[in-house]
Amino acid sequence: MTSAAALRGLTTVTLFADDMAAARAWYTQVFELEPYFDRGPYLEWRVGDYQHEFGLLDSKFSPHPHGAGPAGAVVYWAVDDVEAAYQRLLDLGATNHDEPTERGPGYVTASVLDPFGNILGVMRNQHYDDMLAATG
């Protein structure tokens, strides 16, 4: 049996954009569908056979805006307990990037900088849990 802090699977890849309108139009064309989730500075699409989540966040809302630290994608790993997983990563030598934050019902995220400067995210994700339950 694994601990509540164990990484269970990828949930969401989040990229950043300075021009959200242009980025929305471009990714809508790439994915050939509109985002299913639109909450101001954040958009999200469910893409592919397993409806993997692709997020797009306005750069102004990044914990570290472009040019001020790590940039690019934040890949979130599904965990049962975000606080425990976040603390475990800190205990292993990571540093805070974004403290645990509720993003909506069933969605909590946190991220750290690994000792090499990469962003590592952990997330409680209701969609991931629903997909897991539906497959068995």
Vertex 80 angle, CA 128 and 1, to 5° = 110
Q: Is position 87 within any domain?
A: yes
**Residue tagged 């990571």 (tokens):** 94
1 within domain boundaries: no
127 torsion bin: left (phi>0), alpha (psi -120 to 50), beta (else): alpha
CATH number (domain holding residue 69): 3.10.180.10
Residue 3 in any domain: the answer is no
14 vs 38, higher pLDDT: 38
Residue 4 covered by a domain: no
Q: How many domains does the chain have?
A: 1
Q: Rounded distance, CA 34 to CA 116, Å?
A: 36
Instruction: Give residue 59's identity as a one-letter amino acid code.
Output: S
Residue 74 lies in a domain: yes
Contact 97, 112 (CB under 8 A): yes
Domain that includes residue 22, residue range: 9-135
Distances (CA, A) of 51 to 4, 44, 45, 46, 97: 24, 11, 8, 5, 27
Task: Judge whether 91 lies within some domain.
Answer: yes
Q: What confidence category does residue 8 fall into, taking pLDDT thresholds of 50, 70 and 90?
A: confident
Q: Is residue 2 part of a domain?
A: no
Q: For residue 55, how many C-alpha atoms fall within 13 Å in the half-sphere facing its CB? A: 20
pLDDT digits (tens, 9 = 90+) for 21-79: 999 998 899 899 999 999 989 999 998 878 889 998 888 887 655 555 666 678 898 99
